[in-house]
Amino acid sequence: MSSKTDKKPMRSAAWRISLWATLAFAFGTMVVFVFLHNFVAGDIQRRGDVWLSGEVETLGDVAEHTPKDALYDRVVGEVAELAVCQRRLAHIMGWSRKRRRTPESHPRHQNP
């Protein structure tokens, strides 16, 4: 008696069933991934557009209400105010930012 079967493993019914199930799962996963990717990309684009239009409105308002010779100082002030707000938010939310080292601030470049 031999335990060998006449059918090759690649031609058995179990192999065919599992192959079709695997292909169906892979195709379904791909469809879901493409849908979610498009959904998230569209949402990110929409948020970016809204943010950019808000910035354009703010800068337009600043330019409209500021004399031409003081425009640069006013824009720099607005940017500085936004930077302070961002730092406060980062502190409140517990976000940490790594300090970037410039070549001059590196210990080996400093004179003792």
Residue 19 pLDDT > 60, yes or no?
A: yes
Q: Are 78 and 62 in contact (CB under 8 A)?
A: yes
Q: How confident is the model at residue 12 (pLDDT cuts 50, 70, 90)?
A: confident
User: Is 110's pLDDT higher than 70?
Assistant: no
Residues 6 or more apart whose CB falls under 8 angstroms from that of 78 comprise 58, 59, 62
Separation CA 56–CA 53 (nearest Å): 5
Contacts of 75 (CB under 8 A, 6+ apart): 59, 62
> Is pLDDT larger for residue 22 or for residue 10?
22
Per-residue pLDDT band at 41 (split at 50, 70, 90): very high
Q: Give tens-digit pLDDT for 52-96.
A: 788 878 877 877 777 777 777 777 787 888 778 778 877 777 766
pTM for the predicted model, two decimal places: 0.42
pLDDT tens per residue across span 94-103? 766 555 555 5
> DSSP state, 4?
-
Domain ranges of the chain: 13-65, 67-97
Task: State the pLDDT confidence band at 39, using cuts at 50, 70 and 90.
Answer: very high
The whole-angstrom separation of Cα 37 and Cα 33 is 6
6: pLDDT confidence band, cut at 50, 70 and 90?
low
